[in-house]
Structure 1
Amino acid sequence: MQQYLPSVGPTPESLSRSRRNAVDISALTSNTRTSPIPSRFGRRNAIDYTSSLVKSDWWHAGQPHAFVPRHNYGANPAVPFSSAEHVQAGVAMSELENHQDLNHSSALITSFLPRDWMPKRPFVRLVINWPGYNHLQIVKKLFLFSHNGNPRTLMEVAHDIADFYRSFIHEFHTAFNSAEHGAVRLGPNYVTFGHLRLLGMQLCNPSSGDWIADVSYVQFRAA
Structure 2
Amino acid sequence: MIFEHFSWKEVLTCFMVLFAVIDIIGSIPIIVSLKQKFGQIEAEKASVVAGILMIIFLFVGNKILNFIGVDVNSFAIAGAFVIFIIALEMILGVQIQRHTEAKAASIVPIAFPLIAGAGTLTTTLSLKAQYHDINIIVGIILNTVLVYIVLKSSNWLEKKIGEGTLKVVEKVFGIILLAIAIKLFTSNFAQLFQNSIHF
Q: Greater strand share, 1 or 2?
A: 1
Same fold (TM over 0.5): no
TM-score, normalisation: structure 1: 0.26
Comparing both structures, which one devotes a greater share of its residues to helix? 2
Higher relative contact order (CA 8 A, sep 6+): 2
